[in-house]
């Protein structure tokens, strides 16, 4: 029995495009040899386009379920972009809307920056104060299961769609973590995520701490305000800039943040195949800290814009970089809006540090390497300190009640005190603070010597 196949208008359109290309190629063949060579080098791959149209028609007629032209073409576009690199993708209308919201600081979801690795979804970084961060997900975790669905060979866009949902709804996921033999299971509650990109605290008189969790359009402005607020409390002799688990963000924001600390010179530049992909960011005059020492903390979750800042400060010898080797994302993505309200995001350039280093797949190597550890008040330098209060049956202090009353009066400071205590108990921050103190003493000694 002969089967009659209906030919869709889209298929006819594709065939007409191919016919046009063939006509153009025949016309080119009649010109001189130089033109023919040029046309063959720049011409479209006609055999592959014919192959695409054949597959398109076969799926339309024979696939077990009916598939719309829109669905097929959108899938083809997604596949074309995802085959380039992990950061190139197609964004439909809703995805593009969420991306635009994300750069300004509020969006829905779990609060993780993700990429693909060996067919699995890899967590680049959990974002501060989000469901993912609070649940204990870590940079480098591989998500292997989402709500009972295996992630292997699922597209990144499909995986992200599964993770999205109504705020308050829950999702179960399983991850594999380095050093563990069995999957770790989590249950998270989705939320509207409002990211405060900069937080700041005065660790001790003269020594400040700023945490940049992501790079948004106003991050540099917020950072400058935060530092000025710290300086109002006491002159700063040193500053810790914490970029750990910062997945990056807006390129201009990274350049602006670097500019806050660097007096002059190149901050970062981009370079691609086309001439207009070259762009250079240079510092304007002024250093908000007036050359006071800086320690920048990075780890494997520090990516993209974080690496731009760390690389610029390292190349200009403006800061000591401490921690672990960074993620290694040294590419620039361009977003082009489409007529349908969606967009394509694809890699158009690599960025380079002021000295010309590309960190793509290499990362920023810290000046002082420190692995993750926890430091507690009870155990330092491997020595456990036992106090009278730890002994069973110890006598109480007669002033104990008075101290409790004093504590009640300072309830408003309890939350801040707890935060400062946690920061001091973070091993890397503890070491960074010690280093800052040493650098301050050294710089003061040198200044005194020069004055004499």
Mean pLDDT, residues 377-385: 41
Task: Flag whether pLDDT at 3 surpasses 80.
Answer: no
Task: Flag whether pLDDT at 260 surpasses 80.
Answer: yes
- The rounded distance, in Å, linking the Cα atoms of 182 and 174 is 10
Q: Which of the residue ranges 17-21, 43-47, 276-280, 334-338 would you say has the lowest mean pLDDT? A: 17-21
The string of pLDDT tens digits covering residues 148-195 is 999 987 888 788 888 988 889 999 999 999 989 999 999 999 998 777
Please give the pLDDT value at position 35. 57
Mean pLDDT, residues 237-260: 96
- The rounded distance, in Å, linking the Cα atoms of 265 and 72 is 49
Please give the pLDDT value at position 2. 37
Using 50, 70 and 90 to split pLDDT, how confident is the model at 20? very low
**Burial annotation 21-30 (CB, 10 A radius, 16+ → b, else e):** beeeeeeeee
Q: Which two tokens stand for residue 442?
A: 């050294």
- For 59, phi then psi, to 5°, come to -65, -45
Please give the pLDDT value at position 446. 66
Please give the pLDDT value at position 429. 96
Using 50, 70 and 90 to split pLDDT, how confident is the model at 306? very high
Task: Flag whether pLDDT at 388 surpasses 70.
Answer: no
Please give the pLDDT value at position 192. 86
- The rounded distance, in Å, linking the Cα atoms of 160 and 155 is 9
Burial class (CB in 10 A: 0-12, 13-18, 19+), 152: exposed
- The rounded distance, in Å, linking the Cα atoms of 241 and 228 is 14
Active site residues: 304, 315, 329
CB neighbours (10 Å) of residue 400?
A: 9
Q: Which of the residue ranges 11-15, 44-48, 73-77, 364-368 would you say has the lowest mean pLDDT? A: 11-15
Task: Flag whether pLDDT at 86 surpasses 60.
Answer: yes
Please give the pLDDT value at position 82. 87
With 0.85 as the threshold, say if the pTM is over it: no
Q: Which of the residue ranges 197-206, 230-239, 311-320, 398-407 would you say has the lowest mean pLDDT? A: 398-407
Using 50, 70 and 90 to split pLDDT, how confident is the model at 413? confident
Using 50, 70 and 90 to split pLDDT, how confident is the model at 400? low
Residue 355 vs residues 47, 150, 262, 307, 324: alpha-carbon distances, Å: 45, 44, 14, 14, 21
- The rounded distance, in Å, linking the Cα atoms of 136 and 187 is 11
- The rounded distance, in Å, linking the Cα atoms of 245 and 139 is 7
Q: Report yes or no: 209 and 240 within 8 Å, Cβ to Cβ.
A: yes
Give the 3-state secondary structure of the chain: CCCCCCCCHHHHHHHHHHHHHHHHHHHHHCCCHHHHHHHHHHCCCHHHHHHHHHHHHHHHHHCCCCCCHHHHHHHHHHHHHHCCCCCCEEECHHHHHHHHHHCCCEEEECCEEEEEECCEEEEEEECCCCHHHHHCCCCCCEEEEECCEECCCCCHHHHHHHHCCCCCCEEEEEEECCCCCCCEEEEEECEEEECCCEEEEEEECCEEEEEECCECCCHHHHHHHHHHHHHHHCCCCEEEEECCCCCCECHHHHHHHHHHHCCCCEEEEEECCCHHHCEEEECCCCCCCCCCCEEEEECCCCCCHHHHHHHHHHHCCCCEEEECCCCCCCEEEEEEECCCCCEEEEEEEEEECCCCCECCCCCCCCCEECCCCECCCCEECCEECCCHHHCCCCCCCCCHHHHHHHHHHCHHHHHHHHHHHHHHCEHHHHHHHHHHHHHHHHHHHHHHHHHC
Please give the pLDDT value at position 31. 45
Task: Flag whether pLDDT at 401 surpasses 80.
Answer: no
Please give the pLDDT value at position 365. 98
The string of pLDDT tens digits covering residues 281-296 is 999 989 999 999 999 9
The string of pLDDT tens digits covering residues 116-151 is 887 889 998 898 889 999 999 998 999 999 999 999
- The rounded distance, in Å, linking the Cα atoms of 143 and 174 is 6
Average predicted confidence (pLDDT) for the chain: 83
Please give the pLDDT value at position 414. 83
């Amino acid at each position: 029995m002969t089967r009659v196949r209906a030919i869709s208008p889209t298929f006819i359109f594709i065939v007409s495009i191919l016919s046009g290309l063939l006509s153009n190629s025949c016309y080119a063949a009649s010109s001189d040899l130089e033109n023919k060579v040029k046309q063959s080098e720049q011409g479209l791959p006609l055999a592959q386009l014919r192959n695409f149209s054949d597959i398109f028609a076969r799926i339309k007629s024979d696939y077990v379920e009916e598939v719309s032209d829109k669905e097929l073409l959108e899938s083809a576009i997604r596949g074309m972009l995802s085959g380039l690199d992990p950061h190139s993708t197609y964004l439909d209308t809703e995805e593009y809307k969420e991306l635009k919201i994300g750069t300004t600081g509020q969006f829905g979801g779990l609060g993780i920056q993700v990429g693909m690795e060996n067919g699995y979804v890899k967590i680049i970084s959990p974002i501060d104060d989000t469901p993912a961060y609070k649940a204990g997900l870590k940079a480098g975790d591989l998500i292997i299961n989402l709500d009972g669905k295996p992630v292997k060979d699922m597209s990144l866009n499909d995986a992200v769609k599964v993770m999205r949902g109504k705020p308050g709804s829950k999702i179960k996921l399983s991850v594999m973590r380095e050093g563990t033999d069995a999957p770790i299971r989590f249950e998270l509650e989705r939320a509207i995520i409002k990211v405060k990109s900069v937080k700041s605290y005065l660790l001790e008189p003269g020594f400040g701490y700023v945490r940049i969790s992501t790079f948004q359009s106003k991050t540099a402005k917020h950072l400058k305000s935060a530092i000025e607020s710290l300086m109002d409390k006491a002159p700063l002799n040193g500053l810790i800039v914490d970029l750990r688990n910062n997945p990056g963000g807006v390129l201009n924001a990274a350049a602006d943040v670097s500019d806050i600390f660097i007096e002059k010179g190149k901050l970062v530049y981009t370079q691609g195949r086309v001439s207009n992909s070259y762009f250079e960011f240079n510092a304007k005059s002024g250093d908000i800290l007036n050359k006071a020492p800086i320690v920048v903390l990075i780890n494997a979750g520090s990516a993209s814009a974080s690496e731009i800042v760390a690389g610029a400060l390292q190349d200009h010898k403006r800061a000591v970089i401490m921690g672990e080797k960074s993620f290694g994302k040294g590419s620039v993505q361009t977003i082009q809006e489409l007529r349908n309200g969606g967009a394509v995001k694809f890699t158009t350039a690599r960025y380079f540090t002021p000295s010309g280093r590309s960190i793509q797949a290499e990362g920023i190597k810290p000046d002082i390497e420190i692995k993750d550890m926890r430091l507690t008040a009870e155990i330092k330098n491997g020595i456990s300190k036992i106090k009278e209060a730890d002994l069973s049956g110890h006598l109480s202090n007669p002033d104990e009640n008075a101290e409790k009353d004093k504590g009640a009066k300072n309830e408003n400071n309890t939350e801040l005190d707890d935060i400062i205590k946690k920061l001091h108990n973070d091993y890397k921050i503890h070491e960074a603070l010690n280093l800052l103190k040493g650098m301050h003493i050294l710089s003061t000694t040198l200044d005194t010597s020069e004055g004499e």
